Amino acid sequence: MSAIKKIGVFTSGGDSPGMNAAIRAVVRSGLYHNLEVVGVMRGYEGLINGEIIPMDRKSVANIIQRGGTILKTARSAEFRTPEGRKKAYEQVKKHQIDALIGVGGDGTFTGASIFIDEFNVPIMGLPGTIDNDLVGTDYTIGYDTALNTVVDAVDKIRDTAESHDRLFIVEVMGRDSGLIALRSGIGSGAEAILIPETKTDLPHLLERLEHGRKDKSSKIIIVAEGDDVGAMQVADAVKEKFPNIDTRVSILGHMQRGGSPSCMDRVLASRVGVAAVEALLEGRKGEMVGLINNNIHFTPFKKAIKHIAEVNPNLLKIVEILSL
């Protein structure tokens, strides 16, 4: 028999589509296992301030299809301090919470890892970020939806680019990771993709534009937010070298974090949510639950956050081959 009788669920860091599906999975499977379930509002911020609400079956009805997070989210500066974490622990004790499940990315798991070391509260994590930059899961909750959002937006930009014979430089999210840029670029037929994982070779890009096919009426260059050169500077360089190319910049921004989650994200969130509750009951803690090759996989928080900035070179090659 597990000593866990009451669990709390929270979302933290940047929101991602599918977080609600994850909350639903945790709440419903917790209830299925006869646990009491509470929701912690605003991530670690709400834990510190005791913003804790009861969750029943109905509290998660009709949310699987909704973007954002009903529990809201925050990036808590206070939780990074020992005093903040102590306050959070006092709330855990006060509300008699035996274990926690957090949905988020590297900041969330870094905080959870320190909290476990300090207070030994069992915590399991679910990978919730559009960036897909965690070790221990093929995909993170929200990545697939964000990719579809970007591809949809670029398709629309392509229409106007084609009509005006323009070159568009489209900036997509990813402060430290080019994985959104990479896949959405392939999926939208981009002519070039610039990402933080590889050093951007501006002269090479300009050369490709100079010697590339002349009969293309539209061109799309996808630039990740964290690229070392950046969308604006690329645009300036293109405009300077090719004043006759009609060039525009489009920054997609936070629309990439919103919207109804794709079925892939809903299923992923549901599977890892159920597995996280079961893992806690089996006595596991300090791990992120992911899916690798379609199987549930546990990765210690300290390893999950060690995303190494490297991308599959084959994917980059594909962009060059297909943009001929």
Q: Which residues form the interface with ligand F6P (CB under 6 A)?
A: 14, 105, 129-131, 173-175, 225, 257
Q: How far apart, in whole angstroms, are the C-alpha atoms of residue 293 and residue 188?
A: 25
Q: For residues 140 and 299, which CB has a smaller minimum distance to ligand F6P in the complex?
A: 140
Q: For residues 108 and 270, which CB has a smaller minimum distance to ligand F6P in the complex?
A: 108
Which residues is 100 bridged to in the sheet? 8, 123
Q: How far apart, in whole angstroms, are the C-alpha atoms of residue 28 and residue 37?
A: 9
Minimum CB–partner distance for residue 16 and ligand F6P (Å): 7
Q: How many Å from the N-terminal Cα to the C-terminal Cα in the chain?
A: 62
Q: For residues 75 and 303, which CB has a smaller minimum distance to ligand F6P in the complex?
A: 75
Give the CB-nearest residue to ligand F6P: 175
Q: How far apart, in whole angstroms, are the C-alpha atoms of residue 230 and residue 212?
A: 22
Q: For residues 21 and 281, which CB has a smaller minimum distance to ligand F6P in the complex?
A: 21
- β-strands 36-40, 52-54 pairing: antiparallel
CB 270 within 8 A of CB 191: no
Q: Give CA angle at 304 (121, 195), nearest 5°.
A: 145
Q: How far apart, in whole angstroms, are the C-alpha atoms of residue 278 and residue 262?
A: 25
Give catalytic residue positions. Answer: 131
